[in-house]
Chains A and B, each alone.
Chain A
Amino acid sequence: MMRLPAFAYHAPNSAREVVEILAGEGPSASIVAGGTDLFPNMKRRHQTPKTLVSLQDVDELRGVSWQSDGSLRIGPGEILRALERDADIGNRLPALVAAVRSISTPVLRNMGTIGGNLCLDTRCNYYNQNYEWRRAINFCLKCDGDTCWVAPGSKVCWAVNSSDTAPVMMALGAKLRLISPRGTREVDAQDFFQNDGIDYLAKKPDELLTDIEIPDQGKSRSVYLKLRRRDAFDFPVLGVAARIELDGEVVKNADIVINAVSPAPTRANASEKALIGKKMSDDVLAEAALLAYKPSKPLDNTDFEYAWRKKMVKVYVRRALEHIRSSFLI
């Protein structure tokens, strides 16, 4: 069996204490929520934090509540399974629940949290290997080495953001609240992710995610489509989150976010522009899909052939938009 390295373990009761311990321990400490991402990584020696600060007993980081303005506050410590079973969220934010339900397996969703999912480490099949394997390639840029084997010569790491909920949060316009000894700050989900496989979050190591806020979705409709080999267990090799708001029959607002083909979820700006002010005709959707396909650049570091994954961007964006179009008819 692969074994966890030794570490000290703290399980405080409040967010404030979490931040204090993190500040005291410095960068050798790490937050652990469900541990479903962090522990496998530690077993492979990707991260070897000396201290783990668990969110398990921090009640204030859990719970979901609808605000008077129609927005939803989710505590990042909430387990995925609870969100998936919440009928209100299911009705009002079907794209979010589709994403949550598609994450790994029921067993892992009983442990894994929504906050952990947003902070998920980027993935790459040169990186998600154990220590001995990585030694055989002289390690890689993301961990212990200096070459990116996906694109030798590259100065940046191309590990892929593989979170299912990240693109949905972006498409729905979510806001995230972070606390640290420096105080509280709010970031748009849009700005939380960075296109660098190593430095993939705009979150500092000593910052704790305390709130996720999803604004009222008004009359818009949204969807999340996930491409992967098997219908359970597998990470996405392409995720498409889309939200459309209509004015009559014409698109008023469009949000299309593509994930799992690059180090950060990426907004398909050109596709969004191509939709706005137009009716959702077959031709318009096809054009929007093509515009998303063109700039997407999957590389050979996940399951499946990357050239095929690129082709699928076109198919999945179009299907996502078709799905929304038909949902407006209901």
Chain B
Amino acid sequence: MSQKKPNYNLIGKSPRKVDGLSKCTGVTKFADDLELPRMLFCKIHRSHVAHARIVSIDTSAAEKIPGVKAVLTGKSLPISFGILPVSQDEHALCLDKVRFVGDPVAAVAAIDEDIAFDAINAIKVEYEPLDPVFEPEEALKNEVPPIHDYGDDGNVHKRVSMEFGDVEKSLADSDEVFEDIFFYEGNTHLAMEQHSSLAWMDPDSRITIWSSTQTPHYLHRAAAKVLEMPPSRVRIVACPNGGGFGGKSDPFNHEIVVAKLAKMTNRPVKVTLTREEVFYCHRGRHPVLMRSKMGVKKDGTIQGLHFETLLDGGSYGSYGVASTYYTGALQTVTYKVPTYRFDGVRAFTNKAPCGPKRGHGTPQPRFGMEVQLDKVAAKYGLNPATLRLSMMQPKDSITANWLRIGSMGLSRCIEKVVEGSDFNNRHGKLPRGSGVGIACSSYICGAGLPIYWNNLPHSGVQLKCDRGGGVAVFCGETDIGQGSDTVLATCVAEVLGVDLYDIRIVAGDTDLTPVDLGSYSSRVTLMMGNAAIQAAERARELLAKAVGEKLEVPGSRLGFAENRIFDVENTETGVTFAEGVVLAESKFGTIGTVGSYTPPPSPGRFRGHGVGPSPAYSYSAAVVEVSVDEETGMITVDKVWIGHDIGQSINETLVIGQVEGSVYMGLGEALMEEMTYRGNRFGVHKIPSLLDYKSPTTKEMPEVVTYLIEEPDENGPFGAKEVGQGPLLPIMPAVANAVYDALGVRVDEVPITPAKVLKALSNKDLRHGPTRFPDLKITEQDRMRVKTQEEGGDGRSDKPFDRKKKKEAVKP
């Protein structure tokens, strides 16, 4: 096991958040709290048809309404954008086509919201209807006009096929091949804060957009491009987000629309979306139909795996290409999977666009895989926890699909939850109606590659020491409630030995802060943390030199703690931190340092290798206990035990908060959340409201016992790994497995509703779930083969990876 941990002052403890009091007293300014003199209000006219060509837009009546200052349509913003370079398929306002009910078509700026509301209702749009498509299986058939004029073919946005090792042979050599089909319904982020943006163009022609965004850097790029302004004249200020979960990580049409309206009117313009509009922004969990063929030996261990996914992408690309790869990327990092094949297709449909939600693309396959393993264990009479423990992917290894694993604490997570829940004495032994289920998972700590191709750092931190002893830290990160401001301050405070609350954080401002790619992909703590440590260590070096000279002790003998710099061998001898800054500034001039972080290169060198690699992987295991009412099918979750391999907590309370929040969100996905549409009723979203879109309340939330496993990872700041997303992943399959333990029925589908439980009980095979999986039409040409490391491969595929060719596929 790891060597003894250093004695930290702050790391791993739980001081209150640096912005905690402001949040609790309501002082924090979220985007919608901002007001500027002469501010106008924007409202957006949205499509009320699912798929149509725009014949004409008549805005004349709206323009005549007193108080309306500007009306905007797509023709004033003709340049397309999108988060991924390969899917620049969105317009701030639809140009010639609408693709789902809720697509933005026109916008107004008026002196108050009521007038703006009247004005959007006075806009008349004439449509020429096109056949809509609402189901990905239908989209695969390519019988209707494509929703976009790019993609792999027809309504197939992306088709992926990759094989690592000879899976066919592994399956043939297995004692048994388990074949299962699963469905994971889409769901949305449901952040409490509705998206809001305010834009203003100053008289010197510089535009500022304050916005509830998780990714100010990407918004900066998109806004400059669409507004046709040099990036140097566009400033994005990411306001503290009232929750993000991935729902605020695309550049959004409304952000660009208010900027354009501000330009047109020379007045500040604000938009705050209604809850219904937030449902239309979506970018949430893709509905995924999947088929898994798992070859196992009699002892249950995996010999080979063939996993197929069909993603319902909704109407735009968003992160979808990455999402598609993610449904196949991380099956290999928990248990040994010697050979692995993944086929995936993302289809366009006329619904709100899907994208990244907490766990991005991995909860769906994780659900399938963990339920399937439970079936393997049940069939062979194995303890499902022991089975998992018998095939751990070793630490410091390379997986079949060329992911490099560093630290790996999954077995300790399993041991903890098994012990805490008394799993071995209770699984299979509780009275009918009660059950316990186990599942595991893993998640990346930041993607190894950025979203657009570049060699630049993923996170940058600038640090300035003041003569009075204060420290200002500048970073492009965005606090979305997860506490990244606190993590940043904690890393710096630990290195410099200063009071946490003496640190001032300046974050998420493209004019003032160095780039951090954003609060997504569980990347912030690891990447920003490393950059912050580097910046702080550089400052510390300067201070140590100057103070060492003054105290006549070698710099290496100086300690930094409690706002002092002192001789560790004679702690009485020292100066205050402020005095240290004065000494250093006298010697070196202004004390300002920088730090940056770039992830290590991935060993894979095939096309698509960019999705999956990460500097480190977090691990989680969960046991869920349920009671199921056999007559109604209603499920009550009684208790959850969850172990999470965090590497090292930076702030323990924040880590536990993320674990509990993940459990909460996971239970919602497992039991009730559904982003559903009425395909036979014009394709409207069924329930776009906080009352009708069902998500658990405090009353449904069970007791959660959290175990943190701390085995520092050499790539993490102080050894830290992620916690924002990983702990969500085991919850849904653990619930499904617990329901099986309670009643002996399999619901191979989330959400696991009472009706589905009853259907499973009445079905002959005691199962409810999908029974068919369509042909994904993978051709030899689509299929890429990579030898595994064990087979002597070098990470390259049989098809040369030609970046230039990939570029051509980019739609201008």
Query: Contact mask A74-107 → B, CB, 8 Å, 1/0?
Result: 0000000000000000000000000000000000
Spot the interface stretch: A54-62, A180-188, A224-232: A224-232
Spot the interface stretch: A209-217, A263-271, A278-286, A301-309: A301-309
Interface: A110 (CB within 8 A)? no
A232 near B48: Cβ-Cβ < 8 Å: no
Interface: A149 (CB within 8 A)? yes
Interface: A315 (CB within 8 A)? yes
Q: Contacting B700 at CB < 8 Å: which of A133, A230, A311?
A: A230
Interface: B697 (CB within 8 A)? yes
Chain B interface residue count, CB cutoff 8 Å, equals: 35
- Interface members, chain B 652-690 (any A CB < 8 Å): 672, 681-682, 684-689
Interface: B272 (CB within 8 A)? yes
CB-CB nearest in chain B for A233? B697
- The docked-state distance in angstroms from the alpha carbon of A214 to that of B48 is 48
- Which of chain B's residues have a CB closer than 8 A to the CB of A229? 672, 694
- Which of chain B's residues have a CB closer than 8 A to the CB of A137? 681-682, 684
- Which of chain A's residues have a CB closer than 8 A to the CB of B101? 133, 136
Given A304-B753, A307-B755, residue A3 in contact with residue B694 (CB < 8 A): no
Q: Contacting A130 at CB < 8 Å: which of B113, B274, B699?
A: B274
B688 near A129: Cβ-Cβ < 8 Å: yes
CB-CB nearest in chain A for B690? A233
- The docked-state distance in angstroms from the alpha carbon of A304 to that of B276 is 20
Q: Contacting A135 at CB < 8 Å: which of B48, B672, B698?
A: B48
A311 near B758: Cβ-Cβ < 8 Å: yes
Chain A interface residue count, CB cutoff 8 Å, equals: 30
- Which of chain A's residues have a CB closer than 8 A to the CB of B754? 304, 308
Interface: B360 (CB within 8 A)? no
Interface: B769 (CB within 8 A)? no
B699 near A231: Cβ-Cβ < 8 Å: yes
- Which of chain A's residues have a CB closer than 8 A to the CB of B113? 1, 3
Interface: B114 (CB within 8 A)? yes
- Which of chain A's residues have a CB closer than 8 A to the CB of B758? 308, 311
Given A136-B682, A137-B681, A308-B758, residue A1 in contact with residue B272 (CB < 8 A): yes
- The docked-state distance in angstroms from the alpha carbon of A149 to that of B684 is 12
CB-CB nearest in chain B for A43? B274
- Which of chain B's residues have a CB closer than 8 A to the CB of A1? 113, 272, 274
A32 to nearest B CB, angstroms? Answer: 20
- Interface members, chain B 542-587 (any A CB < 8 Å): none
- The docked-state distance in angstroms from the alpha carbon of A307 to that of B758 is 11
- Which of chain A's residues have a CB closer than 8 A to the CB of B765? none
Question: Is chain B's interface secondary structure helix, strand, loop, or mixed overall?
Answer: loop
B48 near A136: Cβ-Cβ < 8 Å: yes
Interface: B2 (CB within 8 A)? no
- Which of chain B's residues have a CB closer than 8 A to the CB of A232? 697-699
Given A133-B276, A308-B755, residue A230 in contact with residue B692 (CB < 8 A): no
Interface: B117 (CB within 8 A)? yes
Interface: A132 (CB within 8 A)? yes
Q: Contacting A132 at CB < 8 Å: which of B46, B689, B700?
A: B46
- Which of chain B's residues have a CB closer than 8 A to the CB of A135? 48
- The docked-state distance in angstroms from the alpha carbon of A137 to that of B633 is 33
- Which of chain B's residues have a CB closer than 8 A to the CB of A67? none
Interface: A2 (CB within 8 A)? yes
- Which of chain A's residues have a CB closer than 8 A to the CB of B48? 132, 135-136
- Which of chain B's residues have a CB closer than 8 A to the CB of A131? 121
Interface: A128 (CB within 8 A)? yes
CB-CB nearest in chain B for A147? B681
A128 near B692: Cβ-Cβ < 8 Å: yes
B565 to nearest A CB, angstroms? Answer: 52
B631 near A315: Cβ-Cβ < 8 Å: yes
Query: Contact mask B618-646 → A, CB, 8 Å, 1/0?
Result: 00000000000001110000000000000
- The docked-state distance in angstroms from the alpha carbon of A233 to that of B688 is 16
- Interface members, chain B 692-741 (any A CB < 8 Å): 692, 694, 696-700
B753 near A149: Cβ-Cβ < 8 Å: no
Interface: B532 (CB within 8 A)? no
Given A3-B114, A133-B276, A137-B682, residue A305 in contact with residue B697 (CB < 8 A): no
CB-CB nearest in chain A for B683? A136
Q: Contacting A231 at CB < 8 Å: which of B684, B685, B691, B700?
A: B700
A43 to nearest B CB, angstroms? Answer: 10
- Which of chain A's residues have a CB closer than 8 A to the CB of B49? 136
B681 near A125: Cβ-Cβ < 8 Å: no
Interface: A312 (CB within 8 A)? yes
- The docked-state distance in angstroms from the alpha carbon of A206 to that of B46 is 38
- Interface members, chain B 74-122 (any A CB < 8 Å): 101, 113-114, 117, 121
- The docked-state distance in angstroms from the alpha carbon of A262 to that of B127 is 37
- Interface members, chain A 130-147 (any B CB < 8 Å): 130-133, 135-137
A122 to nearest B CB, angstroms? Answer: 15
A183 to nearest B CB, angstroms? Answer: 39
CB-CB nearest in chain B for A126? B681
B688 near A133: Cβ-Cβ < 8 Å: yes
B692 near A303: Cβ-Cβ < 8 Å: yes
Given A132-B46, A133-B276, A149-B681, residue A125 in contact with residue B687 (CB < 8 A): yes
A230 near B696: Cβ-Cβ < 8 Å: yes
- Which of chain B's residues have a CB closer than 8 A to the CB of A128? 689, 692
B195 to nearest A CB, angstroms? Answer: 12
- The docked-state distance in angstroms from the alpha carbon of A133 to that of B689 is 11
- Which of chain B's residues have a CB closer than 8 A to the CB of A136? 48-49, 101, 682, 684
- Which of chain B's residues have a CB closer than 8 A to the CB of A311? 758
- Which of chain A's residues have a CB closer than 8 A to the CB of B697? 230-233
- The docked-state distance in angstroms from the alpha carbon of A1 to that of B46 is 15
- The docked-state distance in angstroms from the alpha carbon of A231 to that of B672 is 13
A305 near B684: Cβ-Cβ < 8 Å: no
CB-CB nearest in chain A for B272? A1
A143 to nearest B CB, angstroms? Answer: 15
CB-CB nearest in chain A for B50? A136
- Which of chain A's residues have a CB closer than 8 A to the CB of B46? 132
A71 to nearest B CB, angstroms? Answer: 35
- The docked-state distance in angstroms from the alpha carbon of A233 to that of B690 is 10
B276 near A230: Cβ-Cβ < 8 Å: no
Given A3-B114, A3-B117, residue A132 in contact with residue B276 (CB < 8 A): yes
- Which of chain B's residues have a CB closer than 8 A to the CB of A6? 114
- Which of chain B's residues have a CB closer than 8 A to the CB of A130? 274, 276
Given A1-B274, A130-B274, A312-B632, residue A233 in contact with residue B681 (CB < 8 A): no
- Interface members, chain A 308-330 (any B CB < 8 Å): 308, 311-312, 315
CB-CB nearest in chain A for B693? A303
- Which of chain A's residues have a CB closer than 8 A to the CB of B274? 1-2, 130
- Which of chain A's residues have a CB closer than 8 A to the CB of B696? 230
* Among B682, B692, B698, residue most surrounded by chain A Cβ atoms (within 10 Å): B692
A26 to nearest B CB, angstroms? Answer: 25
- The docked-state distance in angstroms from the alpha carbon of A297 to that of B666 is 34
CB-CB nearest in chain B for A316? B632
- The docked-state distance in angstroms from the alpha carbon of A46 to that of B506 is 46
CB-CB nearest in chain B for A231? B699
- The docked-state distance in angstroms from the alpha carbon of A131 to that of B121 is 10
Query: Contact mask B738-754 → A, CB, 8 Å, 1/0?
Result: 00000000000000011
Query: Contact mask A201-244 → B, CB, 8 Å, 1/0?
Result: 00000000000000000000000000001111110000000000
Q: Contacting B691 at CB < 8 Å: which of A149, A233, A308, A312?
A: A233
CB-CB nearest in chain B for A229? B694
- The docked-state distance in angstroms from the alpha carbon of A230 to that of B697 is 7
A-B pairs with beta carbons under 8 Å apart, 14 shown: A3-B113, A6-B114, A128-B689, A129-B276, A130-B276, A133-B684, A133-B685, A133-B688, A136-B684, A230-B699, A308-B753, A308-B754, A311-B758, A312-B632
Other than the known A132-B46, A304-B754, what 9 A-B pairs have Cβ atoms closer than 8 Å? A125-B686, A129-B688, A130-B276, A136-B48, A136-B49, A231-B700, A305-B753, A308-B633, A308-B758
- 8 nearest CB pairs, A to B: A308-B755, A136-B48, A231-B699, A305-B755, A135-B48, A136-B101, A229-B694, A232-B699
Interface residues of A (CB under 8 A from B): 1-3, 6, 125-126, 128-133, 135-137, 149, 229-234, 303-305, 307-308, 311-312, 315
